[in-house]
Amino acid sequence: MIGKKQWRKLKTGVFSLLIAVLLVAASVPGAVGSAKAAEVKGYFTTTSSLDAAGRDEAYRSIVFDMTGWEAGKVISDKPFAVVTQVNTAHKEIKAAVLRVWTGVLSRSEDNLQTYWDEIWLDQDGKVTVSTTDNEELVKDYFTADSSYAFHSAGYLGIVPWGAYIPTDKEAQAAKSGVLDKDQVYNLYGVKFEVPVAEASNQSAVNLDANIPSTIKDVALPQDIFNHWATKYMVTLMQEGIVKGYEDNTIRPNKTLTRAEFITLLVKGMGYTGEESTASYADTGKHWGKHVIGQAIAAGILPVPKAGETFRPDAFITRIDMAVLIDSALKAEGVAPEGIKISFKDISKLKKEQVEALQRVCAAGIITTAEPTGKFRPADTLTRAEAFRVVYGIQDWADKMKGGE
């Protein structure tokens, strides 16, 4: 376990990355705050040797724009910063509380230790209190079945969504090695004032690319854990894109219909707009008619010809999935150039289907590194597979739109 004396040494470490990124965010109108761009540039050159006291001073110079803030609101992905409290009773001192993860964690026996800076803001977004390097302890974290059991509002400002910190079972399943005890994992590359015991397997913990905009208190289904798609399911449930069933399951291995996939795709892309007046001959009384209409209006589905059917209850095939994803990327203006693919079983596909698959593979949404060398275009799709590709679509769209 990292003792108090050792952690005091860590507290004086260089933290320029953290402050610089927060200050950049603070300079963007409508993002975190309202610091002037000129002031931000100055901080880039003057924060290279900030200790805990220097960070405190820098925090106090920021005026935050708290429009739309609520508990669970993620203000920054890296450094991971989240609103943990919005208090209407004491606006003059503590209108909101923001916690910023330092990027440092350690393991004490089976417990997880994380370290955070905490900022109190008044009603005008000015800092009234700033404390650095607050230690949090999550008991028995590493004995849990899944790290995603801790991805809930109950662990705001305690467990960072900004990192994948595997439990022992997850690490053993991935054959990546469990986390070292009493060693420091330093994900943001903080430079400490004095030498500390940094873990030799730093790569055992990874930064997480996809973080929900708001962390909500979502009850996770009983069958969501210990599945290869757990990460994708938890993230999409947090975003409200995926819901479980009434029996507290999510049924990741259930086969997906065409209507179910298009619903997932439309929600994943964030479409809430108008529906097309055109409709397929077999969707007029179907439960998915409204979202299918939205997909037509958005350009994901073609405008149907007279009498054309959609077959909403038929199971979707993998090639149909790829074509629909390609249409969604085109509709968003983020479709990449296609890459050469060498699947053994796509020779009978139509030219336009192959080209769609090439673009989706170029975006990394579908992997070309299948062990069998086959794409299996006529195979059906499970819910878990669909969750994975929707997660991938969001990740690709964020990259193309400068969301990272």
Q: 365-385 pLDDT, tens per residue?
A: 998 877 889 999 999 999 999
**Residues with pLDDT less than 70, the chain:** 1-52, 191, 193, 209, 401-404
Same domain, 199 and 255: no
- Measured in degrees and rounded to the nearest 5, phi and psi for residue 380 equal -85, 175
Which helix H or strand E contains 241, and what residues bound it? none
The pLDDT value recorded for residue 59 is: 83
Same domain, 371 and 245: yes
Domain termination site, one of 150, 175, 207: 207
Domain termination site, one of 173, 207, 241: 207
Same domain, 167 and 313: no
Same domain, 242 and 110: no
- Measured in degrees and rounded to the nearest 5, phi and psi for residue 102 equal -80, -10
Whether residue 357 contacts residue 346, with contact meaning beta carbons closer than 8 Å, is answered with yes
The pLDDT value recorded for residue 271 is: 85
341 assigned to some structural domain: yes
| Cα–Cα distance, 286 to 323 (Å, whole number) | 23
244 assigned to some structural domain: yes
Same domain, 150 and 271: no
Same domain, 273 and 196: no
221 assigned to some structural domain: no
The pLDDT value recorded for residue 35 is: 38
Domain termination site, one of 150, 176, 207: 207
The pLDDT value recorded for residue 20 is: 52
Same domain, 387 and 263: yes
**DSSP designation for 140:** T
How many domains are contained in the chain? 2
Same domain, 194 and 83: yes
Same domain, 85 and 183: yes
281 assigned to some structural domain: yes
Burial 178-205 (b: 16+ CB within 10 A, else e): bbbeebbbbbbebebeeebeebeeeebb
271 assigned to some structural domain: yes
333's tokens: 């203006």
59 assigned to some structural domain: yes
**DSSP designation for 141:** G
DSSP string, 302-318: PPPPTT----TTSBPBH
| Domain hosting residue 274, numbered range | 230-400
Same domain, 76 and 188: yes
pLDDT tens per residue, range 228-272 = 898 899 889 888 899 889 898 999 999 999 999 999 999 988 888
Whether residue 84 contacts residue 98, with contact meaning beta carbons closer than 8 Å, is answered with yes
220 assigned to some structural domain: no
Same domain, 256 and 160: no
Q: What are the strands, taking DSSP E only, across 87-207? A: 96-108, 111-121, 127-138, 163-164, 184-186, 206-207
| Cα–Cα distance, 31 to 189 (Å, whole number) | 25
Same domain, 245 and 383: yes
The pLDDT value recorded for residue 296 is: 95
107 assigned to some structural domain: yes
| Cα–Cα distance, 18 to 329 (Å, whole number) | 33
The pLDDT value recorded for residue 402 is: 63
Each as own residue / partner, the long-range contacts of residues 120-123 (CB below 8 Å, 24 or more positions apart, any chain) are 120/93, 120/94, 120/96, 121/64, 121/66, 121/94, 121/95, 121/96, 121/97, 122/91, 122/92, 122/93, 122/94, 122/95, 123/91, 123/92, 123/95
